[in-house]
Amino acid sequence: MVSHNRVPVSVWFRIIFCVPVFIESQADSQNADQKLNVAFITDAITKGAGKICLDGTPGAYYFAKGFGDGINNWMIYLPGGGWCNSKEDCLDRSLNERLGSNKNATTKALVTFQSQNKNINPDFYNWNFIEIRYCDGASFMADVEAVNPETNLYLRGRRIFTSVIEELMSTQGMNNAENALLVGNSAGGLATILNCDRFHSFLPGACRVKCISDSGFFIQAEHLRGAQDNAINKFRKIILFHELAEFLPKSCTQRRAPELCFFPENVVNDIRTPLFLLNSDFDRYQISVLVLPNSTNEVGWRDCKNNISNLPSCLKNNTSNLPCCTENQQQIIMDFQTSFLKTLEKLDDNPSRGLYITSCYAHDFIPYPPYWKGTPTLQNKTIQQAVGDRQFKIYIQLTAM
């Protein structure tokens, strides 16, 4: 247990004030030309995977082959995209070619941490890069054999993750991995936490296996009145609809209700694989979705939410930045930060876990160039530098303010 007056030995966090630097360099322009073609699971039927996206299309991934001294290093990326938690919600999602289907998947551009440009991505530019397409709606966790004939929805995200990893091991050389990194943001950041040790188990011969979760540390907000019930109910619906209970970490479900085991705060203490958590304690998504809806009966919440959504993400956080929010609304937003930091304080002291906690009104950092190499910075380290250090065992220690 970490006391309120100190932070884990693993890392000290600092509340920062930051203004993003939006400069497009020549390297950024060159990187925009890098495209990857989609690859479908070639033997999905024989592997027992088959129809695994919500709409029944096969799993797929993007692959950039490593080179030079990175030929045996691998980065697996799980993108964000939220969740669905009902028949209607998941049916709508299954029609979305980006979130529920691989029907028309074609190419994607490489950005920031995926880039093969050494100027943009000095630590990982020559690694093998994989992006697994997110088309299931439950953070790659569901594995329901039966298909409801009424909806024809396939709830098999766990098979997407498994079948891609197995194909990479059997046909692309990942069985020879020396270093491997599982990275995800938002719903993919949560998937990274929940699948971290499982990912490690696929690579027993690798020298180093680590995980990075960007904006995936969703909190119960138990210190914030009303928000806890909203957050738990949201995750309970996901778990019930996708039948996730048996696939959540047993170390958690043996002690807690399944819906509580979708919250990283109840899982990360049991993760054995080195884990790096990148998040904002003013997480824009969590504030807007998990906190503010509880007060929709108060006049002005829509304007306040729009105010937050339209703020420059890494702007100094004080009440003058939220002119459309009342004093009470501003206090609730500040209370979320307090709740977030108290949640971090509950984590045990683990020297293999790192934190990079900002106070930007933001959600998702690593996919975006202004954050990757610009601001925020902690102890003069950008996110790109911190992520690079973390992979290469340079311990991050941030001075508290």
20 pLDDT higher than 50 = no
What is the rounded average pLDDT for all residues in the chain?
83
389 is catalytic: no
Determine the pLDDT at residue 332. Answer: 86
- Please say if 170 is a catalytic residue: no
Mean pLDDT of 359-387: 86
For 23-65, what is each residue's pLDDT tens digit? 334 334 444 457 888 898 866 444 555 788 999 988 999 999 9
**What token pair was written down for 150?**
């009424």
Handedness of CA 62, 68, 71, 72 (dihedral sign): negative
What per-residue confidence (pLDDT) applies to 276? Answer: 94
User: 0.85 exceeded by the pTM?
Assistant: yes
Which tokens hold the place of 316? 């100094």
Residue boundaries of the structural domains of the chain: 26-391
What pLDDT is stored for residue 203 in this prediction? 97
Q: How confident is the model at residue 312 (pLDDT cuts 50, 70, 90)?
A: low
205-215 pLDDT tens trace: 999 999 999 99
The pLDDT of residue 13 is above 70: no
Judged against a pLDDT cut of 90, whether residue 324 lies above it is answered with: no
Which CATH number does 26-391 carry?
Answer: 3.40.50
Q: Which of 281, 283, 288, 364 is catalytic?
A: 283
Signed CA dihedral, 155, 161, 164, 165: sign only: negative
Q: Find the Cα–Cα–Cα–Cα dihedral 281, 284, 288, 290, rounded to 10°.
A: -40
Angle, alpha carbons 11-337-284 (nearest 5°): 105
In the prediction, which pLDDT does 141 show? 97
Q: 186, 213, 215, 359: which one is catalytic?
A: 186
pLDDT confidence bin for 12, thresholds 50/70/90 = very low
Q: Which of 55-59, 69-73, 276-280 has the lowest mean pLDDT?
A: 55-59
Range from 308-322, 353-367, 380-394 carrying the lowest mean pLDDT: 308-322
Establish whether 186 is a catalytic residue. yes
Confidence at 319, pLDDT banded by 50, 70, 90 = low
Q: Residue 142 and residue 160: Cα distance in Å, rounded?
A: 9
